[in-house]
Amino acid sequence: MKQEFTISLFTEDHIGILGQITIILTRRQINIDSFTASESAVKGVYLLTIVVKTTSEMIQKVARQMEKLVDVLKVFVHTSDQIIYQEIALFKVTTNALMSGNIIDNIVRAHHARILEVSPEYIVIEKTGHKAEISELLTQLEPYGVLQFAKSGRVAITKQVKELNSYLKEMDEANRYKPETIEVIN
């Protein structure tokens, strides 16, 4: 049975990694529902957060395949209950809606959103939350004239205690104690 998974992929900053990841998912006919890239807490290491819907067996295969990529340091797969996550959305609504009493203000307050900018032509509203909350706000704003709507991908952190720093130290220590092999060319 398909379910939603969040892949947290830690990588070095090299060109082409996104293409390689896309190929892995495309070959298995897995669509990307959300994608976000950012710096991580470790200098020089970047975090790619990818949300997909697939089976448990397939996500494990995909994660193993991704970890084989040269630039990938570590891949973690989580279900929604194992992470804390948010998305951010911006809504541009006509200012005429503001003139119709305090309706927009009530909607903004009820959805724990905030007004970022007010101009004679439009109002920009920001909402941070889960996909369903953002969709609900969009539905309520549409009758008042939504001019533009933009939403980010998922930003997530894990509930687990062991972080990437620990994994990187373990990997470094494991590599430190491996005897190096030197190839001799005649």
- List domains and CATH numbers for the chain: 3-78 (3.30.70.260), 84-151 (3.30.70.1150)
Percent of the chain with pLDDT over 90: 62
Torsion angle, alpha carbons of 49, 155, 147, 98, to 10: 170
| Inter-residue contact 146 to 93 (CB < 8 Å) | yes
pLDDT 10s digits, 145-181: 899 999 999 999 887 756 666 666 665 665 555 444 4
pLDDT 10s digits, 96-107: 866 666 788 889
Helix, strand or coil, per DSSP, at residue 83: strand
For tokens 């309520």, what's the residue?
140
pTM passes above 0.75 = yes
pLDDT of residue 67: 92
Range name among 27-41, 44-58, 89-103 with the lowest pLDDT average: 89-103
pLDDT of residue 163: 61
